[in-house]
Structure 1
């Protein structure tokens, strides 16, 4: 839907593209992010006018739920989102409609966007135990603690620790991994999963289905 709709939207002047992620559903984060990024990239390639005036913001919603997750899972997800933001020169911010300081912060962001002032630049928050706030240009691969990476490398690293729903279904249920069995399309990812198989099995219980309508959270 995004691929078909975005190129047809008439754009004038500056253009801001927001990717909204549900942080409470950890096994769906990468798929949503990857799909949205691809649509964004296709759009700016098709429309050269907005290529020079595009702004990317990645928003992680339902932080009130995400903050209670396992520390290592939060670290992996935050590092993945920071990596994508650095790679694409985007802004990154976490949000919850249940926490007023975060509501005010997001309102400031959209106020700045709406009135042409851009993403408000203030002190960044990169600690994965706190709600992330990183304007573009204030983060780096060195700060994240990893080498410069492509989207595919970020994906492989992320899915080796936090598999998506579809990837979990591909993992054999016998408790062992045969050396000749290829679980994933990417060889590098397949090797990573073999090394961390027990961790992946434990992760399958993390993503509890949430019967919460994002637009009716408040």
Structure 2
């Protein structure tokens, strides 16, 4: 009745004319709605040199030769479902080159597209167990700080509810977890090297990653570009985050530390891992006690040393201020170009 009441009717029109006009108007509305792109965002961050660019290229079906990512890079994938008037699906893909002093850059993907369609892929270098926790902790802290700074507690609470449904509202461990308010997939890269590492070290690495993934409500996959099966599993999982298909990319769960780990959202438990309920801080402490971490001194360096009075230098500070302004202009230009490219 709403379409009928809002439409102007000529009294000379027949019932058939009015019906035809109603159907035409309804089809026009449905077509305009279907043309609105369905957007999602995938943010890839983690260990330097682990193969993030290669993974993104495979996800987007690109043959580009990977080059070092210096700061923050944006690209996107676009897919259109088959059928007339099918909706366009767009996946915004951001890649962070380095975790060092990256708090400003981490905020850009999170605030640019909204929390409801955001997902993070944290890629870690399994071939360097002595850096694994350092990189993981830095990535998680950066994401948590960006969320706290850019979203209200109401927004976060709503997304927590969504994530609880994703891992299972009836999960036995639900009340002991520190679930993040968006989907996270932890990818253990360079599995081809990791599989030859000492079995005891592999056991500690797997227990740590399974524990932290379970704690934050993430999925966990071990990956190498040199294995076609693992490449397909990982690509399907990112496709699910970016485009929603396939709906169930991780068909089987693998928890044996002597095999490549594959655990979907909500697919693990404290009992299966073999540990008592814990939190991310204790997980890190225990892992670092078993495998001492290098580079942990970077954790005590402030995000912006230039704000420390002990580092004051007028000329350098002026140059730094100029570079900060250039960075913000670059980020704005990137967002504008991104929006322009998506409507092409």
Change (3 A) 1:119 1:46: farther
1:79 aligns with 2:181: no
Match of 1:135 among 247, 257, 264: 264
Change (3 A) 1:145 1:79: same
> How far did residue 61 of structure 1 move?
0.3
Provide the secondary structure at the position in 1 that maps to 2:183. Answer: strand
Query: 1:106, 1:55 → 2: CA distance?
Result: 15
Query: 1:121, 1:166 → 2: CA distance?
Result: 34
Query: 1:56, 1:2 → 2: CA distance?
Result: 19
Change (3 A) 1:95 1:24: same
Match of 1:158 among 270, 280, 287: 287
Which residue in the other structure is 1:94 paired with?
A: 222
Query: 1:131, 1:121 → 2: CA distance?
Result: 13
Query: 1:77, 1:142 → 2: CA distance?
Result: 17
Which residue in the other structure is 1:198 paired with?
A: none
Provide the secondary structure at the position in 1 that maps to 2:260. Answer: coil
1:20 aligns with 2:148: no
Match of 1:124 among 242, 246, 253: 253
Paired residues in the alignment total 169
Which residue in the other structure is 1:31 paired with?
A: 134
1:44 aligns with 2:147: yes
> How far did residue 69 of structure 1 move?
0.5
> How far did residue 41 of structure 1 move?
1.2
Query: 2:242, 2:184 → 1: CA distance?
Result: 14
Report which stretch shifted further, 40-49 or 121-130.
40-49
**TM-score normalised by structure 2 residue count:** 0.46
Match of 2:232 among 104, 129, 153: 104
Provide, for residues 109-156 of structure 1, a one-character-per-residue CA deviation record: whole Å limited to 9, x for no partner: 122122124662422111111101101211011110001111121011
Query: 1:8, 1:95 → 2: CA distance?
Result: 27
> How far did residue 166 of structure 1 move?
4.4
Contact 1:113 1:119 in 2 (8 A): no
Greater RCO (Cα-Cα under 8 Å, separation 6 or more): 1
Provide the secondary structure at the position in 1 that maps to 2:124. Answer: strand
Q: Highest CA radius of gyration, 1 or 2?
A: 2
**TM-score normalised by structure 1 residue count:** 0.72
Which residue in the other structure is 1:11 paired with?
A: 113
Structure 1 spans left out of the alignment, 5+ residues:
170-218
Contact 2:233 2:249 in 1 (8 A): no
